[in-house]
Amino acid sequence: MTTREEVLAYGLSFPDTYQDTPFRDTNWVLVRYKKNKKAFLWTYMYEGQLRMNIKVDPEWRDFFRNAYEAVLPGYHQNKMHWNTVILDGSVPKEDIKRMIAESYDLVVGKGI
């Protein structure tokens, strides 16, 4: 996954989700869970690169950070609970999907 459209489409494929642009800067496009309005996927351009922020379980936070150079502590978010992924093609599509799905599960688990 290397385009915002792909990432957003996958995030919106989960039940009860919607796309949001809550800031004046339309660069930031989020996907939220409807029942608690919590964002589980943030997309944005930074330093000429498409990036996404996803929520992570602190016990697993470092797994992808250690596996891929393109996975960093969450930009502008709590680095214990969020990772940033640079969508440059270096992280396999299945791992990106897994990270988004786990982020969704974490947000849904707190919102029902």
How far is 29 from 20, CA to CA, in rounded Å?
Answer: 6
Domain 39-112 fold? Aspartate Aminotransferase, domain 1 (3.90.1150)
**Does 57 have pLDDT greater than 50?**
yes
pLDDT higher than threshold 80 for residue 27: yes
The answer on pLDDT for 109 being more than 90 is: no
Task: Find the mean pLDDT for residues 48-75.
Answer: 95
Domain boundaries along the sequence of the chain: 39-112
SS3 readout for the chain: CCCHHHHHHHHHCCCCEEEECCCCCCCCEEEEECCCCCEEEEEEEECCEEEEEEECCCCCHHHHHHHCCCEEECCCCCCCCEEEEECCCCCCHHHHHHHHHHHHHHHHHCCC
**Of 50, 21, 43, 31, nearest to 104 (Cα)?**
31
